[in-house]
Amino acid sequence: MSDSLRLEVDLDKIKYNAARIVELCHSRGIAVLGVTKGFTAIPQIVLAILAGGVDGLADARMENILELRNEGCLESITLLRIPRLSNVDNVVKYCNVSVNSEVAVIQALGQAAEKMGVDHQIILMVDVGDLREGIMIENVLDTVRKVEGVEGIRLVGLGTNMGCFGGVLPEYSNLNILVNLGKMIENRLGIPIEVLSGGGTSSLLLVEKGEMPAGINQLRIGEGILLGTDTTNQRIIDWLKNDAFVLKAEVIEVKRKPSVPIGNIGRDAFGNIPEFADVGIRNKAIVALGKQDAYIEGIIPVDKGITILGASSDHTIIDITDTTRKIQVGDELAFHVTYSGLLSVSQSRYVKKVFRKD
């Protein structure tokens, strides 16, 4: 495979981001799980995150977790996607902790744990408003009563997800619901709640501002460590490195062309009806990168004055009219990636991963 289409990964910047986030969170009594799903748990990146001092790892994909274990990873790993009933044996065997919301699955996890002679730790997910996974607030106590006696299971805490589906922002008010539920369980049922997991990167802003409710003692951080960004809060985190990942692609055509296609317009290769603004003849480049390689809406040109016009499976068309750089066939263009862009590029076998240290 040619190296002309590649994702360059600066491991030192990832380690730096992890260390800064850990430093901040530890100063507030909050543990940090390094989330590895955003880059398909590539071992070199995992090691950089661990070197930054995270308290454990977390991933949503059992395939990633299996690869980590096969690579000899002995760190505590939390399964972030509520388990499939059909996969409870693997969850117990390879994960120290799993997040859960279904009593039937917890019971099955308990049965698997008993067969293996181990205790499996669970965190009950509570839906405080984002409407992804989780028990509704009014049903938490009843659910705890149902699972507290399940053999092979140890309830260690409560967790919640913020921002990932409904876009709901973490706030003192909604995260404090988790704190109050934890106190209620301890007071009424006598069950100690060791972990209150208050979301991911979007919750970091509350920590920075000193507004995180006392009692929240775990965050699950992926995007902040990897990219130094916070998509939910629409911000670049200015005290972190934002360029640890750079995607590079080769220019395969440079031509002056009209800005509007010529002829009757039907649907493109993906079934969409494209729309174009007539801004005259433009200088355009094509790079050897397409939708089969990356989520195009998740990549951003590094050079100023360059605009992505669109892409097909294998070609990305770029307007280079307004850049001061003289771009020729054979040149490389560099792109920053968003979290969605990183997700797609990381799992593409067409994109070579190149690791470096400063």
285 to 223, 257, 299, 329, 332: CA distances (angstroms):
31, 10, 16, 8, 11
Q: By CB neighbour count within 10 A (0-12 exposed, 13-18 middle, 19+ buried), where does 322 fall?
A: exposed
Q: CB-based contacts of 120: which residues, under 8 Å, 6+ apart?
A: 91, 92, 95, 97, 98, 109, 110, 112, 113, 152, 153, 154
How many other CB atoms sit within 10 Å of the CB of residue 291? 18
As given in the structure block, the two tokens for residue 311 are 């892409």
Question: Looking at 15, 37, 183, 248, which residue is catalytic?
Answer: 37
Does the annotation mark 304 as catalytic? no
DSSP 278-326: ---EEEEEEES--TTTS-GGGEEESSTT-EEEEE-SS-EEEE-TT-SS-
Q: Which helix (H) or strand (E) holds 77?
A: strand 77-79
244, 203 contact by CB (below 8 A): no
Q: By CB neighbour count within 10 A (0-12 exposed, 13-18 middle, 19+ buried), where does 117 fall?
A: exposed
Instruction: Please report which residue ranges of 171-314 form alpha helices under DSSP H.
Output: 172-189, 204-208, 223-227
Helix, strand or coil, per DSSP, at residue 222: coil
Residues designated catalytic: 37
